[in-house]
């Protein structure tokens, strides 16, 4: 599956790392399984990928994919109800299996449940009567369980990602996690329509202790109910700068291109928008490599 991009795109795709891919097996239709993803990324000379599932940890699967293909595949865990929500026991197990990211609630966050029409094809598995997870107490402090999760992330040199929680929740959690000693904090697709950070919000959360803003190409596709324009995505990245950004695809849906191709399209469009090769390399390779400890 050698993709047809020009030499500049292929050179930047070589060594790139995609930290956000949804793979089969899953309860949602996915275009490729873990092994197929690894083989495709390997063929395009990428450096690594990270697979995500909203309902189960993926670190164990990632180990098998790495062993079977010889290509580095990593996993993580999203703290939705299927793993017990804000559950340190599930986090401990995932981290011992090698998880590189702990996402705060995604599909089961209170914010996403309230705005699930923005990704309607995911909403069917959420249910009409679900009360989403809110990570703050009534007084605005963070839930006690999060401190135990922070300790585990620190112990295993993993990363914390904000998932689909609200801006207000994320700002408090990021500040507390950073002050507690978490070194790698990722704000998950802040420009997505169902999260909707302003440039001011993105700058504030970086000032609060976030390490990187993860900007995903999927936010511009028909996979989401209210896609943003590519111009809005690229302008948001430019407003922050490459130093504090990671680009990933958030791909794997059956109606989008295969992930390696989608990363190539992302890079191609960034070049057309005026990003330098140096900045793209920082966001596609150097920053995610630091996040994974490579």
Q: 67, 149, 150, 78: which is closest to 109 by C-alpha?
A: 78
Is 177:160 a contact under the CB 8 Å cutoff? yes
Q: Is this prediction's pTM over 0.85?
A: yes
At 228 the pLDDT is 94
Alpha-carbon distance of 2 to 5, in angstroms, equals 9
pLDDT for res 254: 86
Q: What's the alpha-carbon Rg for the chain, to the nearest Å?
A: 17
What pLDDT was estimated at residue 103?
98
The whole-number pLDDT of residue 126 equals 73
pLDDT (0 to 100) of residue 194: 86
pLDDT of residue 118: 62
Sign of the dihedral defined by the CA atoms of residues 150, 151, 154, 158, in that order: negative
The parts of the chain modelled with pLDDT lower than 70 are 1-3, 116-121, 123-124
Domain locations in the chain as residue ranges: 7-292
pLDDT at site 116:
65
Beta strands across the sheet bearing 17-22? 17-22, 48-52, 73-74
**pLDDT at position 215, please?**
98
What's the CA angle centered on 80, arms 79 and 84, to 5 degrees?
Answer: 80
Instruction: For 82-133, give the DSSP string.
Output: GGTSS-HHHHHHHHHTT--EEEPPSTTBHHHHHTGGGGHHHHTTT-SS---B
| Spatial CB neighbours of 60, under 8 Å, sequence gap ≥ 6 | 75, 97
3-state secondary structure (DSSP) of residue 163: coil
Strand 76-78, strand 48-52: pairing: unpaired
Q: What's the CATH number for 7-292?
A: 3.20.20.140
């Amino acid at each position: 599956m050698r993709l047809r991009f020009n030499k500049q795109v292929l050179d930047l795709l070589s060594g790139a790392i995609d930290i956000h891919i949804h793979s089969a097996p899953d309860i949602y239709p996915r275009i490729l399984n873990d092994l197929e993803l690894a083989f495709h990324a390997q063929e395009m000379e990428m450096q690594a990928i990270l697979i995500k599932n909203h309902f189960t940890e993926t670190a164990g699967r990632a180990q098998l994919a790495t062993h079977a293909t010889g290509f580095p595949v990593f996993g993580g865990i999203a703290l939705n109800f299927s793993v017990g929500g804000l559950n340190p026991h599930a986090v401990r197990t995932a981290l011992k299996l090698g998880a590189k990211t702990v996402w705060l609630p995604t599909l089961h966050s209170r914010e996403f449940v309230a705005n699930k029409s923005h990704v309607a094809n995911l909403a069917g598995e959420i249910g009409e009567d679900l009360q989403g997870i809110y990570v703050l107490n009534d007084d605005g402090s963070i839930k006690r369980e999060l401190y135990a999760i922070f300790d585990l992330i620190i112990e295993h040199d993993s990363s914390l990602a904000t998932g689909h929680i609200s801006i207000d929740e994320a700002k408090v959690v990021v500040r507390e996690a950073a002050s507690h000693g978490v070194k790698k904090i990722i704000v998950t697709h802040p420009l997505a329509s169902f999260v909707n950070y302003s440039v001011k919000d993105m700058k504030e959360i970086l000032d609060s202790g976030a390490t990187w803003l993860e900007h995903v190409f999927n936010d511009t596709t028909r996979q989401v109910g209210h896609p943003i324009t590519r111009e809005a995505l690229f302008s948001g990245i430019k407003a922050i700068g490459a130093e504090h950004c990671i680009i990933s695809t958030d791909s794997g849906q059956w109606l989008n291109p295969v992930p390696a191709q989608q990363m190539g399209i992302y890079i191609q469009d960034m070049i057309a928008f005026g990003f330098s090769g140096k900045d793209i390399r920082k966001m596609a390779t150097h920053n995610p490599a630091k996040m994974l400890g490579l």
